[in-house]
A and B are shown apart, each in its own frame.
Chain A
Amino acid sequence: MRVAWKEKAIKLILLATASTSILIVAGIFVFLGREAGPFAIEPGLKELLGKRWIPVSFQKESFGILPLVAGSLLVTALATLITLPFGIGTSVYISELARPTEREILKPFIEILAGIPSVVIGFFGLIVLVPLVKACFRLSTGLTALAGAILLALMAIPTVISISEDAIRSVPVSYKQASLALGASKMQTIWRVTVPAALPGITAAVMLGMGRVIGETMAVMMVTGNAAIITASPFDSVRTMTATIAAEMGEVAFGSNHYRALFCVGIVLLLATFGLNIVAQKVLKKHRVR
């Protein structure tokens, strides 16, 4: 009787700790909403749809977040494009082709890459990558969306590798055996059987990688030039949502329109990462059930 009561108490405590994260996420949404809310009344949400982001001005302040959203989208899309071949190639190699010793060497290095602080990557980007991008493409400056995308890809690749490697490994051996028994070569088996079977997992991996990319701040802020313009060219400078919040939150006067606008940017950002994560989790779950 007493033991059962104790067990119940422990269970409750564990439940409480487990639900903290839910509470925190909900709390963040509520807090962001509360700080951003007054912007909807004055000067109105329409202001956010403008094409100019000029938060500090003697003339007229504008809080159009379109350039920021466009900047984040461009950098994220480019980073994903760069991540795909490296992420998938490496995970296929590690899970299917590498000898055990090679795997022993590759895996720790990939994990180290994942652990490098983003300021360090950003500093590396500013000193090494930016001049390199400028020289390679004969640009007037290397502070471009492309430089940011390359750095972000560096950060996303480890995530993508470890999750897609998992996915590829969990493809049943019987699939491969059947393919090989039918006379398919090793390469044919990998590209036509194993990888397609692991595709949902790989998709989820890429989406989680994108989630990391879109939320990354420091490295992008240091190398993208931060000009708030709407562009689709990787050789232009862009200002991402994260960099805007990081650069401007420090000086903003509490309760001003600028302050509220930054929270609106935060909400958009949160919704984007939230959406990506939910879709990725759904895809992963489907894959596991199969």
Chain B
Amino acid sequence: MSATFKKLAKEKLVLPFVIAVTLTVISGCTKRGDQTEGEKRYITVKGSDTMVHLVSSWAEAFMQRNPGIEVSVTGGGSGTGIAALINGTTDICAASRSIKEKELTLANRKDIHPHEIVVARDGIAVVVNPDNPIGELTIEQLGKIFTGACPRWSDVGGPDEEILVLSRESSSGTYVFFQEMVLKKQDYLQDAKLLPATSAIIQSASTDKWAIGYAGLGYALAATDKVKIIAVKADDKSAAVIPSDQTVKSGQYPIARPLYIYLDGEPDGTIKKFIDFCLSSEGQSIVTETGYITIKQ
């Protein structure tokens, strides 16, 4: 346990509350020695903080069905996970965004061939303080808020108060996805508070009355007692849609994304067994349980 903790501490990104949700099961490190190709007894998954909860739930169920195999799950951000895959320090990378061109060339240079598998879907919820009268916004308004073009709530039909913009750190897959989907690839405003974890965004949005932030749907749904989820309109004419299982699956909710798992090459052996489990009906029911959306219709 302590060795894993040290590794986490080294990442520095991983805060204690992330550690709290990070499942790490090491029941007998001694077994690591006798692993052979295709018969791996110990696999590591690293990457997206958004997916930590999901992947560790999978790992838990998988280990219950396959005693003797250990799956260790850590977060740190999609970028961190992809970097780890490229550097060969993890078997599986969980990512909430697809791999960038730059990362792909870097990987190929190191003779790593990332293999992409979509394992679930996730909506990004926009959250505000429960006392905020605003209940719905268009994508365009959100873009203006996060780029700083609309600095006050009155600019989007609310009271005359300054908007406090909360964002994740730039190492987060959610940061890049939100920038692409909502900000239309523009830069975030310089004044945005970059918080090191989703829980910090929820915490801040629940205490700061005029704050706005974003979080993975699973995370936001679990925190509805602390924050209000905004209904999002794709444009002026369309209806406002609250993110949920149905609306993400049907494609009505506009800020949704696939969640990926990356491997070096085609899966085989224990890793294939684990991936197959994630995609099985049992694995996909865990997806629903943890607040994400299944890939199957």
CB distance from B175 to the nearest CB of A (A): 7
Are B106 and A222 closer than 8 Å at their CB atoms? no
Q: How far is the CB of A177 from chain B (nearest CB, A)?
A: 51
Structural contact, B77 and A251, CB atoms closer than 8 A: yes
With A250-B12, A254-B106 known as contacts, the answer to whether A58 contacts B79 (CB < 8 A) is no
Determine the residue in chain A with the shortest Cβ distance to B171: A251
Chain B residues, CB < 8 A from A52: 190
Residues of chain A within 8 A of B11, CB atoms compared: 250
Q: Which residues of B contact A142 (CB under 8 A)?
A: 207-208
Contact (Cβ within 8 A) A226 B169: yes
Q: How many residues of B contact A (CB 8 A)?
A: 44
Does B240 reach chain A (CB closer than 8 Å)?
no
Task: Give the residue name and chain of the A residue nearest to B84 (CB).
Answer: A250
Task: Verify if B185 is at the interface (C-beta below 8 Å from A).
Answer: yes
Choose from B12, B164, B185 the contact partner of A58 (Cβ within 8 Å): B185
B6 at the interface (CB under 8 A from A): no
Residue of B nearest to A144 (CB): B193
A126 adjacent to B203 (CB under 8 Å): yes
- For A23, the chain B residues whose CB sits under 8 A away are none
CA gap between A222 and B197 in the complex, in Å: 9
Find out whether the CB atom of A256 lies under 8 angstroms from the CB atom of B102. Answer: yes
**Interface flag for B276 (CB, 8 Å):** no
- In the docked arrangement, what's the CA distance between A58 and B188, Å? 11
Please indicate the chain A residues that have their CB under 8 angstroms from the CB of B187 in the complex. 54, 57-59
CB-CB under 8 A from B236, the residues of chain A are none
Mark interface residues in A123-154 (1 if CB within 8 Å of B CB, else 0): 10011001100100000111100000000000
* Residues A227 and B190 in contact, CB atoms below 8 Å apart: yes
Complex: chain B residue closest to A59, CB-CB: B187
Q: A225 touching B193 by the CB < 8 A rule?
A: yes
Shortest B4–chain A CB gap in Å is 16
CB of B83 within 8 A of CB of A251, answer yes
* A237 interfacial by beta-carbon distance below 8 Å: yes
User: Are B83 and A250 in contact (CB-based, < 8 A)?
Assistant: yes
Q: CB-nearest residue of chain B relative to A56?
A: B170
Residue of A whose beta carbon sits closest to that of B179: A58
In this complex, what residue of A is CB-closest to B183? A58
Asked if B169 and A228 sit within 8 Å, CB to CB, the answer is no
Chain B positions 188 through 215: 1 when the CB is less than 8 Å from some CB of chain A, otherwise 0:
0011111110001001100111110000
Complex Cα spacing A228 to B180, Å: 21
* 8 pairs of residues in contact across A and B, judged by CB atoms under 8 Å: A56-B175, A123-B15, A126-B200, A143-B193, A222-B200, A247-B169, A250-B79, A250-B171
Q: Which 3 A-B pairs have the closest CB atoms?
A: A251-B79, A251-B171, A58-B185
